[in-house]
Amino acid sequence: MKILKKYNKILLVDDDYDLLEQNKLLLESMGFSIVTAESGEEGLKVFKEEKPDAAIVDLIMENADSGFILCHRIKRTEQGKKIPVYILTSAAYETGYKFSASTKEEKEWIKCDGILNKPVSVEELISKLESF
């Protein structure tokens, strides 16, 4: 699988430490530089400090809408307008409702470039980044 050099540094935000570390290790093994955070607030701080090339944000962290709020805050910045920001969620399994960000209107409302359902494979994640 080819490595996307335009996405050297990726921000991963998830309150599930095990999943966060697993995804971090998998992406690092493929040559990416990964920065992490375990909450929406910490995610925004790390985003501003590190200026990543892409962000993958868990939906439900300290609050049910933490991922939406973080994506909105990221996309309001100049850096955030230029990079892909994806929401990672297991909400479909827990609620039966599958979120979508496939139309321009949904992306504008949700403030993200796509939604990935857990568990996500590294190949799917990289495919989403390639399509940005």
Instruction: Give me the CATH number covering residue 56.
Output: 3.40.50.2300
Residue 39's alpha-carbon distances to 2, 58, 109, in angstroms, are: 30, 9, 22
pLDDT score for 4: 54
Q: What is the pTM assigned to this prediction?
A: 0.85
pLDDT band at 111 (very low <50, low <70, confident <90, very high): confident
Q: Which of 105, 42, 35, 32 is nearest to 73 (CA)?
A: 42
Average pLDDT rounded to a whole number, residues 13-21? 94
Number of domains in the chain: 1
**DSSP state at residue 56:** E
Question: Contact, 27 vs 1, CB < 8 A?
Answer: no
And the tokens for 80? 């955030």
Average pLDDT rounded to a whole number, residues 73-95? 84
